[in-house]
Amino acid sequence: MAVTPYTGAFGPQELRHLLRRSLFGVSPADMAHFNGMPLNAVVNELLNFTDDTTPPIKAYSDLSGGTPDPNAIDAPVAFGDTWTTVPIDYNTLTDDSIGYRVNSFQYWWAGLMVHQERNLREKLVLFYHSYLVTQGYVVFDANSQYALNRQFRQQALGNFRQLVYDVTLEPHMLVYLNGYLNVASAPDENYGRELMELFTLGEGSGYTEADVHAAARVLTGWSVAYENNGQPALPHAVYYQGNHDATDKQFSSFFGNALIAGHAGPNGGATEINELLELIFAKEECALFVCRKLYHFFVHGEIDADTEANFITELAALFQANTGAPNQMRTVLHALFTSDHFFSSTIRGCMVKSPADHAVGIARSLGMPFPGPDEFEAQYSLWGDVFWQIAYAGQQLTDPPNVAGWLPYRVAPAYDLLWLDNATYPARRDIYNYFCYSGLTTPPDMVQAQSANVNYPIDFVALVQQLTDPYDPNILINDLAELLFAVPVSQAVKDQLKHNFLLQGQQSDYYWSSAYETYVTDPNTTDMTAQMVPSILVWLITDMQGAAENNLF
């Protein structure tokens, strides 16, 4: 059976649900952009993108005589230029250039989330990173980390088997899971095991320990080089024929007792990896496993028996039917986001936001300003603030807790509820208080004078001017509830918010309407009530973000 498409009404509620799951936060401008478009058109636009991102740059410096000096760190890279094309000479390295590049990559990635286009690319990059896991602090090499991230961007909607092949030979993965140490004389089973257990088939699917050992032998011979002909080079995979086990590899009955014949020669390793992936991806268990991963990330943590039988199996059949298609993942994601199941009432507002959804969502949905490219030093500083706020709330983007990834995407029965605990909930509160009350501020000592000591507060008056009717306190509260809450709240709650904040305890709606009109007509007004309008909006919107409903999406 095919995935059942959604044929119900597609209005603002359905659009907001779709955008909450496919973007980081939903701004009034996002809603206005897609307003009135049919479901297929919206999903097609969300799935229409390329990797047109510019690479991270050197926006960092170190102190020299007490003054920030770009030449005092990572000297081969000019200030404002990308470091991604510049190898590190490990023979002469005497400073902390690697660490500065790692931070630059982290801040760049957070910046791409904050400034995401209206498509699925950034959510998919995080999905792949949470699934085909590496840990940056283990490998500690920004150049290979950027290369892996770029693979996710370039192949986000492509063929999943091809992505797994390419990730297998990415230097960051080769180092992380010991692929570079895997030789014929001492096969290392680390990557072969995780390839089956965590990346494709799942634990308990039927493969055996003998299959893991055979896969490890298939994967022998690869390493990572940081030089070419004695000269520093970007990290790249190299294949050493002499380190490859060129004997036959026997697999279990789970794989139909298949035999991968040993291949010698310069292409032997690549040939055998492709044959191994053919065995794995031919299994229905692989399609089911991948589709469950998509479901946990984009739809819901729990997969009950009915969902498994009537949705996951159908989605997996589509995945398997397109196993050789160059746009396999686009086909599967289109079916997911246009499915009847995705728009069912039990799926809407059922998930706890990840820290990335929470922090980036605040910045995007409330219209937090950021410096432009001319102030690139300030850009990276504030993107770094966002990165660390996400990390403090429990999701350091480059460093999942282990090779299995973040617990909320995989651990039953709590799943996404695990994002909230006694430490992370106060961190979430600190994020919206920080963003809303003070805004982001750059340090006073920076190389670029225009980047130093600049504050970027959210303009809450400009925010509400994008809503339906900010003059009417009842409509304004309704619009803000739609913006901030994924589930409905009672009229009593709305009335209390209106009374306590917009009316400041007064009884007449005119109190707010008059003050707001006076202020927007003349922001320099001397009317004391009107002067309070920006502060009232800050108090109201910050208070609303403390509600439980604001943690759902």
Task: Express as a percent the part of the chain with pLDDT over 70.
Answer: 100
- Exposed (0-12), middle (13-18) or buried (19+): which is 1, by Cβ within 10 Å? exposed
Helices (H), 417-490: 424-433, 460-464, 473-484
Asked whether the bond before 473 is cis by omega within 30 degrees of 0, the reply is no
Give pLDDT, residue 123: 98
- Exposed (0-12), middle (13-18) or buried (19+): which is 302, by Cβ within 10 Å? middle
- CA angle, residues 226, 232, 234, in degrees to nearest 5: 50
* Nearest Cα residue to 398 out of 131, 52, 154, 109: 109
* Nearest Cα residue to 84 out of 65, 110, 45, 58: 58
Mean pLDDT score, 527-553: 97
pLDDT of residue 1 exceeding 90: no
Per-residue pLDDT tens digits for 92-106: 998 899 999 999 999
* Nearest Cα residue to 472 out of 418, 421, 511: 511
The three state secondary structure string of 250-309 is ECCHHHCCCEECCCCCCCHHHHHHHHHHHHHHCCHHHHHHHHHHHHHHHCCCCCCHHHHH
Rg of the chain, C-alpha, whole Å: 26
- Confidence band for 401, pLDDT divided at 50, 70 and 90: very high
Contact 100, 114 (CB under 8 A): no
**Number of Cα atoms under 13 Å in the Cβ half of residue 410:** 20
Say which DSSP state 249 is in.
Answer: E
Give pLDDT, residue 534: 98
Rounded to an integer, what distance in angstroms lies between the CA atom of residue 457 and that of residue 434? 10
Mean pLDDT score, 500-523: 97
Task: Express as a percent the part of the chain with pLDDT over 90.
Answer: 99
Q: How far from the centroid of its chain's Cα atoms is residue 277's Cα?
A: 26
pLDDT of residue 146 exceeding 80: yes
Quickly list DSSP for 471-483.
TSHHHHHHHHHHH
Which residues partner with 231 through β-bridges?
228
Q: Is 441 helix (H, G, I), strand (E, B) or coil?
A: strand
Quickly list DSSP for 156-214.
TTS-HHHHHHHHHT-HHHHHHTTGGG-BTTB---HHHHHIIIIIIS-TTSS--HHHHHH
Q: Which amino acid is at 479?
A: D
Give pLDDT, residue 194: 98
Give pLDDT, residue 154: 97
Contact 368, 456 (CB under 8 A): yes
- Confidence band for 148, pLDDT divided at 50, 70 and 90: very high
Q: What element of type H or E holds 223?
A: strand 222-228
**Residue 523 phi, psi (nearest 5):** -60, -15
Rounded to an integer, what distance in angstroms lies between the CA atom of residue 153 and that of residue 167? 12
Contact 342, 332 (CB under 8 A): no
What sign results for the dihedral spanned by CA atoms 381, 387, 391, 397? negative
Per-residue pLDDT tens digits for 188-231: 999 999 999 999 999 999 999 999 999 999 999 999 999 999 99
Task: Please state, as a whole number, how many other Cβ atoms lie within 10 Å of the Cβ of residue 65.
Answer: 6
Mean pLDDT score, 321-342: 98
